[in-house]
């Protein structure tokens, strides 16, 4: 079943995705040919496509994405003020299932008045009214072999999102939708709200004093990248299962309302976007603060995180969020991020006997910090080793010459230039969950002057056993 994640199968599948154009005008073969190389170059394996009721996305576009290893997710932002009949969507959903689509999202922000209109929003039980719309579509999708996803809610919202979700799931249970709940997923916005990427981590269980519309000063809530954790907790307690989850609009600080003039403040910082990228790649990411702790990893239930927005027309109100112009040119917000992606991607193939080494949940990191040298001879003959005495005294790393051993460490410091340890090796270590840095500057072959400052972000060997991963 969909909600049972096979770790061995999913572990090598990228969780990075994007929202495609916010219109229905870019589903031609030339669009496919233009954007697939860009998506694959960024390591993306998912693409959110905007669906509509009156026409289907062309079959050749869907099949073309799948042939390139990019999985389409169709999002139908249906208007709750206009009743939708099953007869309208059944032929389209049947076709999508036949073409290879596996996941669909119905509706968007049903906890806002703007999704219903003033008159319909005033109904006495808006949650039950939503389930009236949603449940028949879920039943249809499940019957067709599709996985339907609960729509993204406005964090907070006019109807508090966590309350709305809980009441909706309870309503579905009361209606006997056991099979539908067993085969359903969740979606959640991955907005940062300008906060730490760990804000709200741990959900209501960790922050029990936070209540709807009332957040104590010393507490945290769900309005952060961790919105999905609060939803998972509700779903687990209500339906008794972990739901596969799709993260939407990653890279935004707040929502993109296309009916108003947007500004640059709604886009998260480049540093935050890069950290989200790394979290989706299962890397260890540190918080730049005095706490010296790792950010909590994104849970295995997260299938993908989709960044907003791949591209759009220059005249669109969504253009301030676009990573690329309509003709493929980089935009202001993406240039630094794309440069980071370019420099961090795999450039060389690693040794044949060294590959991705997944870690068990029981023994995630058996080594705190590992200082890797290519060989004993390299260590003995390398002059730079005398320049890192302060580093050795401070961090007391495990020193060794085994990449497989290094892959079991939370932090791996590479004491070698790129000609000795190529970037491909670093990428494989990162895929194994390690945080990796070079100790030598690959161009000057000198010890990086700012390396000590960078290392200050990491926990010491002494603190390692208490660090949260």
Contact 318, 309 (CB under 8 A): yes
SS (H, E, C) 278-323: HHHCCCCCECCCCCCCECCCCCCCEEEEEECCCECCCCCCCHHHCC
Q: What's the pLDDT tens digit per position in 266-321?
A: 888 888 999 999 899 887 787 764 445 678 889 989 999 999 999 999 888 889 89
- Percent of the chain scored above 70 by pLDDT? 82
State the DSSP code for 465: G
Q: Is the pLDDT of residue 70 over 60?
A: yes
Q: What's the pLDDT tens digit per position in 349-380?
A: 344 445 545 544 444 677 888 898 888 777 77
Q: What's the pLDDT tens digit per position in 165-219?
A: 999 999 999 999 999 999 999 999 999 999 999 999 999 999 999 999 999 999 9
C-beta atoms surrounding 241 within 10 Å: 16
Q: Is the pLDDT of residue 76 over 80?
A: yes
C-beta atoms surrounding 216 within 10 Å: 11
Strand order in the sheet with 367-372: 398-400, 367-372, 409-414, 435-438
For residues 107-126, give the mean pLDDT.
95
**Could you tell me which residues are beta bridge partners of residue 436?**
412
Token pair, residue 335, equals: 């240039």
Q: Which pLDDT does position 209 carry in this prediction?
A: 96
Query: Please, what are the domains in the chain?
Result: 7-344 (3.20.20.80), 361-466 (3.40.50)
Contact 329, 71 (CB under 8 A): no
For 200-284, list the strands marked E by DSSP.
Answer: 245-250
* Mean pLDDT (the chain, rounded): 83
State the DSSP code for 7: H
Q: Which pLDDT does position 265 carry in this prediction?
A: 67
Confidence class of residue 3 from pLDDT cuts 50, 70 and 90?
very low
Burial (CB count within 10 angstroms: exposed 0-12, middle 13-18, buried 19+), residue 395: buried
Q: What's the pLDDT tens digit per position in 92-111?
A: 999 999 999 999 999 999 99
CA of 329: how far to CAs of 22, 112, 209, 212, 339, in Å? 18, 35, 47, 43, 14
Q: Is the pLDDT of residue 413 over 80?
A: yes
Q: Which pLDDT does position 354 carry in this prediction?
A: 54
Confidence class of residue 440 from pLDDT cuts 50, 70 and 90?
low
Lowest mean pLDDT among 40-49, 74-83, 207-216, 350-359: 350-359
- Percent of the chain scored above 90 by pLDDT? 55
For residues 399-412, give the mean pLDDT.
86
Contact 197, 225 (CB under 8 A): yes
Contact 72, 101 (CB under 8 A): yes
Q: What's the pLDDT tens digit per position in 231-275?
A: 999 999 999 999 999 999 999 998 645 443 445 568 888 889 999
Burial (CB count within 10 angstroms: exposed 0-12, middle 13-18, buried 19+), residue 428: buried
Closest to 153 measured CA to CA, from 219, 249, 42, 57: 249
């Amino acid at each position: 079943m969909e909600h049972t994640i096979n770790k061995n199968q999913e572990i090598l599948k990228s969780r990075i995705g994007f929202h495609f154009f916010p219109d229905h005008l870019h589903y031609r073969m030339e669009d496919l040919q233009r954007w697939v190389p860009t998506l694959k170059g960024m390591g993306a394996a998912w693409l959110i496509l905007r669906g509509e009721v009156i026409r289907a996305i062309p079959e050749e576009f869907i099949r073309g994405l799948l042939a390139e290893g990019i999985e389409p997710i169709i999002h139908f932002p249906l208007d709750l003020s206009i009743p939708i009949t099953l007869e309208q969507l059944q032929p389209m959903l049947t076709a999508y299932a036949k073409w290879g689509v596996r996941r669909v999202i119905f509706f968007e922000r049903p906890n806002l008045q703007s999704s219903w209109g003033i008159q319909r929003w005033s109904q006495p039980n808006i949650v039950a009214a939503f389930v009236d719309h949603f449940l028949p579509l879920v039943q249809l999708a499940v019957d067709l072999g599709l996985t339907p996803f609960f729509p993204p809610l406005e964090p907070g919202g006019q109807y508090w999102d966590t309350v709305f979700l809980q009441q909706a799931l309870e309503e579905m249970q009361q209606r006997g939708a056991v099979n539908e709940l067993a085969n359903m997923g969740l979606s959640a916005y991955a907005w940062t709200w300008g906060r730490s990427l760990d804000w709200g981590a741990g959900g209501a269980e960790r922050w029990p004093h936070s209540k709807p519309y009332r957040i104590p000063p010393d507490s945290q809530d769900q309005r952060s990248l961790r919105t999905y954790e609060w939803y998972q907790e509700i779903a687990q307690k209500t339906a008794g299962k972990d739901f596969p989850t799709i993260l939407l609009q990653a890279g935004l600080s707040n929502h993109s309302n296309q009916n108003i003039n947007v500004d640059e403040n709604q886009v998260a910082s480049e540093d935050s976007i890069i950290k989200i990228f790394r979290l989706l790649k299962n890397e260890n990411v540190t918080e730049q603060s005095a706490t010296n702790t790792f950010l909590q990893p994104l849970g295995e239930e997260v299938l993908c995180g989709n960044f907003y927005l791949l591209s759009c027309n220059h005249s669109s109100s969504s253009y301030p969020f676009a990573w690329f112009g309509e003709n493929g040119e980089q935009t202001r917000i993406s240039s630094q991020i794309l440069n980071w992606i370019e420099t961090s991607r795999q450039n060389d193939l690693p040794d044949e006997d060294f590959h991705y080494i997944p870690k068990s949940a029981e023994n995630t990191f058996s080594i705190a910090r590992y200082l890797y040298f290519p060989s004993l001879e390299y260590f003995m003959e390398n002059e730079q080793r005398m320049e890192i005495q302060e580093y050795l005294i401070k961090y007391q790393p495990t020193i060794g010459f085994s990449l497989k051993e290094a892959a079991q460490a939370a932090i791996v410091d590479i004491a070698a230039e790129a000609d000795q340890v190529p970037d491909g090796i670093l990428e494989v270590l990162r895929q194994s969950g390690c945080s990796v840095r070079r100790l030598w500057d690959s161009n000057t072959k000198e010890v990086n002057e700012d390396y000590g400052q960078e290392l200050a972000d990491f926990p010491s060997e002494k603190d390692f056993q208490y660090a949260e991963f």
